[in-house]
Structure 1
């Protein structure tokens, strides 16, 4: 069963309440998304750690319910 963009956003916001999250359905099938996430929690973290934080927020859904996620993360510009 595909995952709704709103559910992805809600999971990310639950872990990163200050995050600006933009989700785009890349194929219209509910399985291939792009996510742009900007959060103060990313300040000082490597890109890998930022991505790991988002994947952790998804609670193991990557590769299962959520087939593909093109992820872009950043800390807010001051």
Structure 2
């Protein structure tokens, strides 16, 4: 499995969630275990489960490069 750097993940999330506040942390220091926090108007009216689904959908195949992903979503 290939890995993705923190900087690459931030760039991708910024492209997928423009005008959002995004924080990414490599929690294991291995470019394979991440904690992300996204504050976005895109989550308005969505349940927490649907917010997380939206993140996974927008990441698409990228999720194959990440072993563990902790997601925190916040609606503006």
Q: So what's the TM-score if we normalise by structure 1?
A: 0.87
State how far apart, in whole Å, the 2-side matches of 1:74 and 1:60 are: 23
Q: Which runs of 5+ in 2 are unaligned?
A: none
Q: How many residues are treated as equivalent by the alignment?
A: 75
Match of 2:9 in 1: 8
Q: So what's the TM-score if we normalise by structure 2?
A: 0.89
Match of 1:24 in 2: 25
For the aligned residue pairs, the C-alpha RMSD in angstroms reads: 1.1
Match of 1:37 in 2: 38
Query: 1:6-48 deviations in whole A, cap 9, x for unaligned?
Result: 2212222212101110000100000000000000111111111
State how far apart, in whole Å, the 1-side matches of 2:32 and 2:65 are: 8
Between structures 1 and 2, the one with greater helix share: 2
Q: Which runs of 5+ in 1 are unaligned?
A: none
Displacement over 6 Å in runs of 4+:
none
